[in-house]
């Protein structure tokens, strides 16, 4: 699987919007910062047609160290999650 890095995404935004590279970088950074801040406050972000970002809570559980086989406790934690929207699913499955 091939991945686009941040500079490739910025370059694509420049071509599609006509923004300067500096403005496209700022816009992408602002988007990431906004979503991160919302998730840190346990708020979801829904972009109709694209998808939803939310925070899921994982309960504490018991695990096993794969090297030693000894049991260990895994602490409870909040994890970010993304669920693709209908528009994104259709775009991927063209």
CATH number where 89 lies: 4.10.520.10
| Percent of the chain scoring above 90 in pLDDT | 98
Looking at residue 12, what is its pLDDT? 97
Distances (CA, A) of 87 to 21, 23, 90, 93: 27, 26, 5, 10
Residues listed for the chain: 94
Residue 1 scores a pLDDT above 90: no
**Structural domain range at position 50:** 42-94
72 plus 82 within the same structural domain = yes
Give the model's confidence band at 58: pLDDT under 50 very low, under 70 low, under 90 confident, else very high. Answer: very high
29 plus 75 within the same structural domain = no
Stretch 42-69: mean pLDDT, rounded?
96
Distance (Å, whole) CA 27 – CA 87: 22
Looking at residue 55, what is its pLDDT? 97
């Amino acid at each position: 699987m091939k991945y686009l890095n941040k500079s490739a995404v910025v370059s694509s935004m420049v071509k599609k919007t006509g923004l300067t590279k500096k403005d496209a970088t700022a816009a992408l950074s602002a988007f990431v910062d906004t979503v991160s801040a919302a998730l840190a406050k346990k708020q979801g972000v829904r972009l109709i047609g694209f998808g939803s970002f939310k925070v899921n809570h994982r309960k504490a559980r018991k695990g096993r160290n794969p090297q030693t086989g000894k049991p260990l406790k895994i602490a409870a934690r909040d994890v970010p999650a993304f669920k693709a929207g209908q528009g994104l699913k259709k775009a991927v499955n063209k």
